[in-house]
Amino acid sequence: MAQNVCVSRLDALRKAMEKNGIDVYMIPTADFHGSEYVADYFKVREYFSGFTGENATLVVTKDEADLWVDGRFFIQAEHELEGSGIIEQRMGEPGVPTLHEFLRKTMRDGETLGFDGRCVNEAQGREIARLLSGKHVKIRSDKDLAEEVWSDRPVLPSHPVFLLDAEKYAGETAASKLSRLRAVMDEKGAKFYVSSKLDEIMWLYNIRGNDVICSPVALSYTFVTPDEAFLFIQDSEVTDELREYAKGIGLVICHYVAFDEFLRTRVVYDGPVLYDPAFTGYQTCRTIREAMTAGGADASLLMIPVNSPVDYMKAVKNETEIRNFKEIYIEDSAAVTKFIYWLKKTVGREKMTEGSAAAHLDGLRAKIKDYVELSFPTISAYGENAAMMHYEPKGEGAEVKPEGMLLVDSGGQYMRGTTDVTRTMALGPVTDDMKKSYTLTAASMLQLMDTKFLAGSSGITLDIMAREPMWREGMDYKCGTGHGIGYLLNVHEGPQSIRYRKRDAADMTAFAPGMVVSDEPGVYKSGKYGIRIETILLCVHERTTEDGEFYGFEPLTYVPFDRDLIDPAYLSGELLALLNAYNAQVLEKIAPFLDGEEKAWLEEQCARI
């Protein structure tokens, strides 16, 4: 993009700011629903800054524009911002102000901060409002200035929704889910529940859409009362089948664009509203608060913030979902195992790139029954590229040679569930340091998988079981150890996760049997190599004693470790036994999917070390 384009776009934005009495305008990278991937319609920050990376926040003042960029994108932003006059703010670097510090320092008493309050969640918006309250800064959150400036803006994505069969796939009817939600509302003393989060809305009503890439969801909001439930969705997404089905479960279909109006004028707030500040738009909560206050009520008491009960219910998979997950993970693991065989036999014989390797794997996955789409673009990272955790090859990417390692992180969306798996493979000669790092990663993954824990333990309780082998060596990986996984929904879902410190309130969620979580430690050496081993685990009940209920994990993923990368010197006897036991299970479960040479190769791979 020619940089003068951005300069003139920012000029137009500043005119719109002036017209609307806005002194500083903030543009995050987000849709109205806090989705991980956003559609073109929502790429406002990219439109005004020219920066194409996945994450950044632009702040525009009368005479300055600043872009907050995280470590993954420092270099990219430097290139893309050239000539735009926009200042790159490298998050976490010494001397660089945080966005909040910048706003506090820059904004003057009585000025107005503007942002599209639908693209900022309640928790974020309130924090900013609180931060600036001492300066009497006004917040204007009802204006999307892009509407006034971006003339050729893409339209909102819109695709018809489909129903998910309760008996075969979802395992529970929407009516039953609604009744469980209402029981929680009642327990918390609330009358209403509101949510903007797409995957939980899909789960609640057993529907799926196609508005967000790699994630079968439809743009929507919901509002639940003791007797009714309202689904706000674009008219073009509503099928006759949905209309019929909605009637049957007391679900009222409303226009997507009428949500704010509904909250402002149609609800009598004669009871508290339950909401998750991380899953509900700032503007949504503001509208509700204003309607409550207009009605003479104390909004600060009538708004009850919680970790979403729907998100929690969704995370605890039921018997049908678990049965489907177990099936599809075996089939998906078999595809990945075949891919590894192909990779090892082919590398150095035929020309291979990161892109062609990914394409081969994607092809194997597409053949699986029930395949819908990938659950995220396959990460195929060779050599030093793998040190970047979120690497995606541009085009074909680097050439893959018969030396060093290839890291492949991939997954699929199937009617029987969503998969995610990472393995790192030796392609030829590897160094002792690589072997040490791989073996410690395997130790981390296995030690966590083998942990027994008391009911009430969260991922923060458990994380050190994965990191301990690394921390003892003064090593660490700069990301969480694990995330939840949806059922034909987001490949990353909460509320549970495994990390050693809290990022948000949901991280404290206790594990429960039926929860699914990734176990993915790694070693990332910048400029050298990257290793990650990711196995998906199912939380299961272990035993009940007089001291309580104890839980543990069992793997859903069955893809072998790479024995060329194991150095037993770094494994205790217990951990080596765990590794051999895991490989033995891989052989038992995956061999039936293989023939001849493939099968013989797997037998070698899984032989006792």
Shorter beta-carbon distance to its own copies: residue 43 or 138:
138
Report the distance separating Cα 2 and Cα 50, nearest Å. Answer: 9
* Residue 304 sits in the site that holds its own copies (CB under 8 A): yes
Total residues in contact with its own copies, by rule CB under 8 A: 50
Q: Which two tokens stand for residue 338?
A: 């075949």
Binding residue (CB under 8 A) for its own copies from 163, 253, 372, 454? 454
Amino acid symbol at 516 = V
Residue 36: φ, ψ to 5°? -70, -40
Q: Rule CB under 8 A: is residue 453 a binding residue for its own copies?
A: yes
Stretch that binds its own copies, among 126-134, 140-148, 208-216, 422-430 (CB under 8 A): 126-134
24 binds its own copies (CB under 8 A): no
Region near its own copies per CB under 8 A, out of 127-135, 231-239, 556-564, 599-607 = 127-135
Range list of H helices, 220-374: 240-248, 259-261, 282-294, 299-302, 309-315, 319-346, 354-366
Closer by beta carbon to its own copies, 367 or else 472: 472
Nearer to its own copies, 304 or 389 (CB): 304
32 CB neighbour count, 10 Å cutoff: 26
Residue 523 has φ and ψ, to the nearest 5°, of: -130, 125
**For the purposes of burial, counting CB atoms within 10 Å of the CB of 184, is it exposed (0-12), middle (13-18) or buried (19 or more)?**
middle
Task: Name the phi and psi angles at 20, rounded to 5.
Answer: -95, 10
Stretch near its own copies under the rule CB under 8 A, chosen from 25-33, 132-140, 260-268, 403-411: 132-140
Q: Which is nearer to its own copies, 443 or 559 (CB)?
A: 443
Nearer to its own copies among residue 328 and residue 462 (C-beta): 462
Taking the complex as a whole, the smallest distance from the CB of residue 521 to its own copies amounts, in Å, to 13
The pairing of strands 412-414 and 371-374 is antiparallel
Q: H or E stretch including 313?
A: helix 309-315
Nearer to its own copies, 134 or 395 (CB): 134
Length of the chain: 609
CB-wise, 332 or 520, nearer to its own copies? 520
The two structure tokens encoding residue 169:
């796939």
> Binding to its own copies by residue 225, rule CB under 8 A?
no
Within 494-523, the residues that bind its own copies by CB under 8 A are 500-502, 508, 510
Maximal C-alpha separation, the chain = 76
Distance CA 114, CA 22 (A): 6
What secondary structure letter does DSSP report for 412? E
368-to-281, 308, 413, 414, 592 alpha-carbon distances in Å:
38, 34, 10, 9, 15
Q: Is 233 left (phi over 0), alpha (psi -120 to 50) or beta?
A: beta
Which range in 218-226, 410-418, 513-521, 547-555 contacts its own copies by CB under 8 A?
547-555
273-275 and 522-525 as β-strands: parallel, antiparallel, unpaired? unpaired
Q: Which of 33, 140, 191, 532 binds its own copies (CB under 8 A)?
A: 191
Q: What minimum distance in Å lies between the beta carbon of 451 and its own copies?
A: 8
Identify whether the C-beta of residue 397 lies closer than 8 Å to the C-beta of residue 380: yes
The pair of structure tokens assigned to 80 is 């893309």
Contact between 550 and its own copies per CB under 8 A? yes
Kindly write down the DSSP assignment for every residue of 503-523, as one continuous string: SSGGGGPBP-TTBEEEE--EE
Contacts of 95 (CB under 8 A, 6+ apart): none
Of 152, 300, 349, 569, the one binding its own copies (CB under 8 A) is 300
Part of the chain binding its own copies (CB under 8 A), chosen from 47-55, 394-402, 410-418, 452-460: 452-460
> Cα–chain-centroid distance for residue 252?
29
Among 189, 363, 429, 568, binds its own copies (CB under 8 A): 189
Nearer to its own copies, 1 or 129 (CB): 129
For the CB of residue 314, give the shortest distance to its own copies in the complex, in Å: 22
Which residues inside 456-475 make contact with its own copies, applying CB under 8 A?
456-458, 460-465, 467-468, 471-472, 474-475
Minimum separation from the CB atom of position 124 to its own copies (A): 14
Residues contributing to the site for its own copies (CB under 8 A): 104, 126, 129-134, 189-191, 271-272, 298-302, 304, 451-454, 456-458, 460-465, 467-468, 471-472, 474-476, 478, 500-502, 508, 510, 543, 545, 547-548, 550
